[in-house]
Structure 1
């Protein structure tokens, strides 16, 4: 995430701001320009979800500009990706919906920045992307992905609920943004890997995705976590099935890119050891990253130095590690594969 400045007074403003706190200028995020811009207070191109989802985006110029909200107003490109949301009279659900949409806007911003497609299901009914953001107050909701539809249990926006699940499932990290990055990773496997020249290399690194998924999950949850996964997978859940390994690795790739780019935008520079990442080479991948994208080695070097500093800072505040994961050579090799797949699209 870049650092933004008010177009009127050049004061620092944040991605979520709809007003400059220094000079009072009205602001909105222009997706085409990937920038916060000064707009009139009554700007007609604002998203119809400005109030119910705290959305500060302008309407897209593309197909999503015709999407309409429940009240008939037009939706921005991020909000238009949401297919289902709670009813207006579900106050708790709507509050959680606003938090989820905020995380989704950050996700969409990053995907745009990287150059990944976010084709709406309304444009491509068979292969497009859609989000069902559902309240589990009345009935259970299972967070997951199915053929381009990402379903999120909005209870994940409630800190006590999410923390209780994190402890119950023995997870070191659990956030709404993390869920979104993981679940959309499944869609990108469908779009970028399945049926492409990358598929054979995927199977070499992650395993055969044709393994029965339900059976694999049952086996995964039916035994103690153990430690046998730690040298080869970024998380315990990644060891459940090759699809989950890809989605977890993809999500961590997004975590790392966003955090290192944010640090760079804020002028944060951290020195670290000169690490040997030769085991994470891209041999046999056939596709080289775009020359304008930092090499994976540079990204990994920057991240490992930064995450160690961030973890040390968190410990100084009496908090757990910000990034409680271990990037082994096997995990770095998988992550480089994700990097090459992603940059080949760009």
Structure 2
């Protein structure tokens, strides 16, 4: 089960990244108010896509990592599995992340007449924070105090990288008490008012995703399968209702602010639970599902690319206006189409030439390390 690709999970990834893209339009793509966006945001805020990403990550990582680590019979084997996990994660995530950090820094220096990419000092510090994986702490510190830089979305990537680093150690320390440790982690955060620092180290959705993965290995998980969603449009209706509820809870109209993030984490985990059965409950097989699965498979690149793409479009509009040429300024739909096309093109290039090749290299390196360890020593060699 752990190696199978779940299309409903890819659909959720697509929903998560599209939500983040919509949330960042106002301010990153459009500097002037767009009335329609303002009306939508008054009643629906899609930034909860980040928390949905966290729940997905916790589930996907745990369903393969926990069985692998629990199957180890020696401490050495445990650390080898952990090393392999870290290597695969590093090759999967860091090349694309570092590439776009570098490109944003170069854009700030060379194509920034409009100032869309921010100031060089802020971007230098933001790049360092992104590379060294403390962007979430810098983001909290900068909140309403100073300019972060173009790579502000890297706060969530840093939090996930910290999770990937510490999670194998948590499994080792907690052992059979892992479930209770994760439940405590969720319970504490569920009723806590999130300050800026607590917002950028929120791990309740991640923990819920891990708990779902652990539950999926138990017989009771199959007994609780939501088979009623097999009815025509039942799953799609559930997806729409939950997405609308999450979007409303993310607005200032939701008055139970103390429980906002915890409630969003729970509903995000509920969506992941429905998706975990791999029954196409959330979206029936067809063209729409294939399109969403394609977006989901490119969601990491889209997440990295959308802010520099928005800023590049702003820079283009500024230069066209400065030269007295026709520009998409004042035409939000045209501006959005240009930005969307750019994101699709760049994310596809990133997926084909960076993500997949580096992911394959990481997998090949792990295989080589395993082969060298299991190699039979020659007759003249001594074994340790």
- Does TM-score exceed 0.5, indicating one fold? no
Which protein is richer in helix relative to its size?
Answer: 2
TM-score (norm 1): 0.26
Which protein is richer in strand relative to its size?
Answer: 1
Structure of higher CA gyration radius: 2
Higher relative contact order (CA 8 A, sep 6+): 2
